[in-house]
Amino acid sequence: MSTVTARALVLEAPATEPVLAEIDVLDPGPGEVRIKVSASGVCGTDGHAIEGTHPMPVRPVVLGHEGAGVVESVGAGVTGLAPGDHVVCALAVPCGTCRQCRRGLAEHCNSPARRQAMSGVMADGGSRLRYKGEPAYPFFGVGTLAEYTTVRREQAVRVDPALPLDEFCLAGCGVITGYGAVLNVARVGPGDTVVVVGAGGVGVNVIQAARTAGASTIVAVDGVPEKLDLARKFGATHVVEASSDVAKELGAIEPDGADVVFEVVGKPELLTMCLGLTRVGGTCVMVGIPPMGARLSFDAFTVSANRRLLGCRGGAVVPERDIERLVALYRAGSLNLAGLIGQRIGLDDVFTALDALGRSSFARSLVVF
């Protein structure tokens, strides 16, 4: 093995402009895997990091966290993976040893090891990426807007090589978060009425997951008409323009209120509305990532009517388990990945994808290497 030089999208510090630059990807250490990236989605959270609204240390970061590729080399002690294996890069890797993991609640792992992995720091406290000769760190521990990356073994989930990596890369974040919000957090069931506020990359996956779970009424709310069209394609039975009186519109569809409302924008001020759209005993799920330091404010009496407000950390997923579920749904024809992709571009065009975040008529731009 030897160090690999790769092109990557590097953010030197929050609230600065990222740059396309060469990085050095060092040999994988013990328990690590170096991946030749095949494709990576451009997610809204990458945009939040650039804006400085996503909590991250002030240090060079290789952006991208929706990636898939082929194992190029493995470090000492790695089992279950070998060069040539196809993998999806996973973000939220439970430690397996903390109290929650030992109780069978791996999706709620909050150990220092998990937090360290999510911050892009390897088990030995270092990084395998170098930018201008100094350590750089992979965003969410994966850094997939790069030709090569090195991740912990647990963050590389092997998939059947017959599956299209330029679609399954999206399973790493947007798809698995949307499905996890529905199946793991809200536990939507047959006959439910569901409202999805925000029909972007994650929102449309909430919609198709709710359809898979058997929801009979799925209402999409967004301010971009093209995204409402996209929501219909993914299973929304009704659409509502965000600038309208959303509560009145929903009342005409389901007078009793929704069983579950998902806020998928990341704006805390929307949660008051979302909570009020639920029926008595209903559930509101905060899927979008709010800005750092944001506060919630709502009438406490609303909650007293047996309502629940739930957080959603990445869909409460266990990567090995939930990616396997997504594969099964894909093979059954219940998971549409190709329809999420609005454009396939090269790394040189990544800035056009960043500019389109939140405004495009499609769910995802895909960088193909």
DSSP string, 66-90: EEEEEEEEE-TT--S--TT-EEEE-
Domain range for residue 257? Answer: 178-311
Q: Do 250 and 323 fall into the same domain?
A: no
Q: Do 141 and 218 fall into the same domain?
A: no
pLDDT for 168:
96
pLDDT for 58:
67
Count the residues in the chain: 369
Domain boundary (311, 329, 356) is at 311
79 with 105: CB under 8 angstroms? no
Give mean pLDDT, residues 225-235.
95
pLDDT tens digits along 111-150: 998 888 888 899 999 999 999 999 999 999 999 999 999 9
Q: Do 304 and 342 fall into the same domain?
A: no
Q: Do 298 and 332 fall into the same domain?
A: no
Average pLDDT, the chain: 93
Give mean pLDDT, residues 222-229.
93
The CATH number of whichever domain residue 96 belongs to comes to: 3.90.180.10
φ/ψ of 252, rounded to 5, equals -75, -25
262 with 203: CB under 8 angstroms? yes
pLDDT, greater one: 264 or 304: 264
Highest mean pLDDT among 250-264, 278-292, 346-360: 250-264
Q: Which residues pair with 286 in a beta bridge?
A: 263, 311
61 with 52: CB under 8 angstroms? no
Question: What does 6-50 look like in DSSP terms, one character per residue?
Answer: EEEEEESSTTS--EEEEEEEPPP-TTEEEEEEEEEEE-HHHHHHH
pLDDT tens digits along 167-186: 999 999 999 999 999 999 99
pLDDT for 15:
86
Quote the strand ranges of 288-348, DSSP E: 308-311, 341-345
φ/ψ of 356, rounded to 5, equals -85, -10
Q: Do 167 and 32 fall into the same domain?
A: yes
Q: Do 64 and 182 fall into the same domain?
A: no
Give the pLDDT band (50/70/90) at residue 1.
Answer: low
Domain boundary (291, 311, 331) is at 311
pLDDT for 10:
97
Domain boundary (273, 289, 311) is at 311
Tally of domains in the chain: 2
Cα torsion angle, 183, 188, 190, 196, sign: negative
pLDDT, greater one: 296 or 199: 199
pLDDT, greater one: 305 or 84: 84
The CATH number of whichever domain residue 265 belongs to comes to: 3.40.50.720
Q: Do 263 and 341 fall into the same domain?
A: no
Q: Do 39 and 59 fall into the same domain?
A: yes
Q: Do 160 and 33 fall into the same domain?
A: yes
Q: Do 113 and 162 fall into the same domain?
A: yes
pLDDT for 270:
92
Report the b/e string of 104-121 with b at 16+ CB within 10 A.
eebbebebebbebbbbbb
Q: Is the pLDDT of residue 14 over 90?
A: no
Give mean pLDDT, residues 149-158.
95
Q: Is the pLDDT of residue 156 over 70?
A: yes
Q: Do 214 and 334 fall into the same domain?
A: no
98 with 105: CB under 8 angstroms? no
Q: Do 75 and 92 fall into the same domain?
A: yes
